[in-house]
Amino acid sequence: MQLRYSFRLYPNGPQRAALARAFGCARVVYNDALRARETARAAGGVFPKTGDLSKLLITEAKKTGERGWLGEVSAVVLQQSLRDLDTAYRNFFDGLKGKRPRMGVPRFKTRKDSRQAVRFTANARWKITPGGDLSLPKIGEVRVKWSRALPSVPSTVSVVKDAAGRYFASFIVETGPEETLPATGQVVGIDLGLTHFAVLSDGTKIESPRFLRRAEKKLKREQRRLSRKARGSRNRTKARVKVARAHARVADARREFHHQLSTRIIRENQAVAVEDLAVKGLARTRLAKSVHDAGWSAFVAMLEYKAARYGRALIRIGRFEPTSQVCSQCGVKDGPKPLDVRVWRCQACHVWLDRDINAAVNVAKAAGLAVTACRAQVRPGPVPAQREEAGTHRDGQPTVAGILSL
């Protein structure tokens, strides 16, 4: 499978200027190609092909005075910009056909976009120098902060600038079956929530870090300062970067938490079961901020690709499975319960159950995993004895225990 490894870049002044030129040229070619296709569509003409657009908007445009500065950047960057437009159209039409979720029509890019990116393929002859720098055509050798080694030789590298002004190198590498982990007999079901980020069927509860809530005070302060700056001023630009950096720290901390937890779960268990939550629907409720702060979709996506990478199984169960209504001990459905009910008693077997652990066990059982439900029990509930069992029998006469006359 293909994986993406990202590393922080630290370009100097001239290199940042060269990257800005590359971002701008790629954006101009993308917009010119989009304009040509939309003009042809409005006129009812033939949809221009990528090869024709490449010849017209790159090769021929470099010879004109209006677009002569396109020659200052690598041609591969401009070609990849056209491929990005093809991908955008393909995703749009596949969404109309029902092959994937609906996507909007391709839109024009602007230099004010919070994210700028260019891509270099092997044809661009980029390389990693013996000193550990990233050598890019017409940009130079950029310093890289290597946090880990690449598992194989990368085929493509993208240079990304985010809203906080940080630069990243994103490598695409191929991984093989040599990364498959040894088999283990452990299986687990996961119930995702807000009070506890995840509750496992073995009784483990992982507290929700609530990164956004913890940083909310600082975010409000920086956002308030931004709102007071005059539009178009340099001070407003500085304040905007401070807000973006504050949000980036929250996103980075959440992503690191997801990576560590998902890796631990995948390494310890052979099969993992999760519930297919309706995150979009929950994000339209009063719990929207907490739902976005938890980041369930990103976490499940990490579980999915790591399970495929390491030879594990990830099973999703339907979102309408009544995991919180069924007793994991006897299997009797006890009906829906308010969210404030965290411990409930089964009316059939009279066992007190922890709502979250019981749901995690039911998630695993619904996925066909053989898990024990012993950890779902909070404490054994007293079973009322029948009247005829409340005493001893002597000579056929029932006598209540404890009140026998001496």
Evaluate the CA torsion angle 330, 333, 339, 340 in order and state its sign. Answer: negative
Tell me the CB-side half-sphere exposure of residue 100, using CA atoms within 13 A.
Answer: 10
Residue 197, classified by CB atoms within 10 Å of its CB into exposed (0-12), middle (13-18) or buried (19+), is buried
Q: Which of 378, 193, 393 is nearest to 274 (CA)?
A: 193
Q: What is the DSSP string of 59-82?
A: ITGGGSSSSGGGGGS-HHHHHHHH
Alpha-carbon distance of 69 to 63, in angstroms, equals 9
Residues 6+ apart with CB under 8 A from 323: 191, 275, 317, 358, 359, 360, 362, 363, 366
Q: Which of 391, 353, 397, 390 is nearest to 375 (CA)?
A: 353
Alpha-carbon distance of 173 to 405, in angstroms, equals 86
Alpha-carbon distance of 240 to 228, in angstroms, equals 11
End-to-end CA distance of the chain: 82
Centre a 10 Å sphere on the Cβ of residue 76 and count the other Cβ atoms it contains: 18
The catalytic site residues sit at 191, 275, 356
Residues 6+ apart with CB under 8 A from 137: 74, 76, 120, 124, 125, 126
Alpha-carbon distance of 148 to 145, in angstroms, equals 9
At 142, list the tokens: 């950029």
